[in-house]
Amino acid sequence: MIEPSKRSELVSYPIRDIVQEAKRLEKQGTQMIYLNIGDPAPFGFRPPQHVLDAAAHALTQNYSGYAPSDGDPELKEAVASFEKVAPEDVFITAGLSEGIDFLFQAMVDPGRNIILPVPTYPLYLTKERISYGTIEFYDCDEKFEPDPDSLRKNINKYTKAILVINPNNPTGAVYSRKTLQSIIDIAGESKLPIISDDVYDQMVFDGEITNMRDICKDVPVVCGNSLSKNYIYPGARAGYLAFHGEGWDKMKDAVQRLCNQRLSVNWEMQRAYIAAIKGSHDHIHKFNSELKKRRDILVKRVKEIDGLSVAPPKGAFYSFIKVESDKWKNDTEFVRGLLKCGVVVVPGSGFAPNMDGKYFRLVFLPKPEQLDEAFNRIEKFVKG
């Protein structure tokens, strides 16, 4: 037997892990509705045509060599002008996932931590673990707004940065300006930088969003974004990190080295990203109005089911639903039971290992009829 490394055993990805079990049941004849992965493509949403055209056009040009490791200079310029930083503050990555990987590699030595919101996007948990960091959380309230007191209390002397995900995966929460301001104040007091995960920042259908970059003043912030969600193109694997404010020089050197060692991001998708940033953003209004329709169905259906509750999502396409009933021992038992009824969702403990195991994450991307059908099955299962 060839043994994998101890480090590899620290890697898990609950969003995809659940699929294996779903596929097994599917083989046995259960028809599944997949509400586990945040990918709009299987639900019929497409990237804007001009973005696809730019990728196709790039293929006909002479882009066969490696791109510069830190990114296509024209894309860096486009991102820099959007983010209001200098091009040398921008690093292009293979999706924000690679940017997150680079940040952990550059910031987290063993025993150190980037403090995470709970619930959180699971990749951050994995990266913290495989950096041999410690996992430190700050709590959110019942509407999933970060709790500043909890943040202040849980920052320790080994904390290297504060993570904010806004809009949030898995909750769909969009944070108030006041909350963001409190986080900035705490970061200032503690002399810590902020990592602002903005991958869903254009996908807001209730109210406005305030972005960290616009209010951080002299607190250093690194913003991460990508083509995946805002431009409905997760398969493109193009994203970036943009460093705002002072004090980042050594960190930027480290990220540059991390970019160098993996050579480059593919040219074609970087050309597509330029078209995305510079071109029409009409798609986002349509996308958001479709999402709002689905969100309204979700909230109505959850309200009608005795034993479930949800804080209405205001952005992205996720909901973190609470199982109020004690019929199930924990979230895994609930999710496994629901799988047998043909609905695939993710146990909440994958996002919130320290919460009470009473939540599941449901993606509300399907067409209204399919979402309703999923809720018919969920209702039947919960009523038992």
Ligand X SMILES: Cc1ncc(COP(=O)(O)O)c(C=O)c1O
- What are the residues binding ligand X (CB under 6 A)? 38, 95-97, 121, 165, 169, 197, 199, 226, 228, 234, 239
Beta carbon of residue 125, minimum distance to ligand X (angstroms, whole number):
12
Looking at the Cβ atoms of 341 and 352, the one nearer to ligand X is 352
The encoded tokens of residue 162 equal 């504060």
Looking at the Cβ atoms of 342 and 348, the one nearer to ligand X is 348
Looking at the Cβ atoms of 229 and 294, the one nearer to ligand X is 229
Residue with tokens 């046995």: 28
Q: Name which of 133, 141, 136 is nearest 168 in CA terms.
A: 141
Helices (H), the chain: 14-27, 49-60, 73-83, 95-107, 122-130, 148-154, 177-190, 212-215, 249-261, 267-278, 282-304, 331-340, 368-383
Looking at the Cβ atoms of 36 and 97, the one nearer to ligand X is 97
Looking at the Cβ atoms of 51 and 96, the one nearer to ligand X is 96
Residues in the chain: 384
Beta carbon of residue 29, minimum distance to ligand X (angstroms, whole number):
30
Nearest-5° angle of CA 229, CA 24, CA 41?
A: 20
Q: Name which of 217, 223, 229 is nearest 169 in CA terms.
A: 229
Q: Are strands 137-139 and 113-118 parallel, antiparallel or unpaired?
A: parallel
- Helices (runs of H) and strands (runs of E) counted in the chain: 13, 13
Beta carbon of residue 341, minimum distance to ligand X (angstroms, whole number):
26
Buried b (16+ CB within 10 A) or exposed e, 50-71: ebeebbeebeeeeeeeebbbbb
CB 208 within 8 A of CB 176: no
Q: Are strands 359-363 and 346-347 parallel, antiparallel or unpaired?
A: antiparallel
With CB atoms as reference, the residue minimizing the distance to ligand X is: 95
Beta carbon of residue 97, minimum distance to ligand X (angstroms, whole number):
3
Beta carbon of residue 232, minimum distance to ligand X (angstroms, whole number):
11
Looking at the Cβ atoms of 267 and 318, the one nearer to ligand X is 318
Looking at the Cβ atoms of 201 and 305, the one nearer to ligand X is 201
Beta carbon of residue 199, minimum distance to ligand X (angstroms, whole number):
5
Looking at the Cβ atoms of 99 and 193, the one nearer to ligand X is 99
Beta carbon of residue 363, minimum distance to ligand X (angstroms, whole number):
10
Beta carbon of residue 63, minimum distance to ligand X (angstroms, whole number):
21
Residue type for 331, please?
D
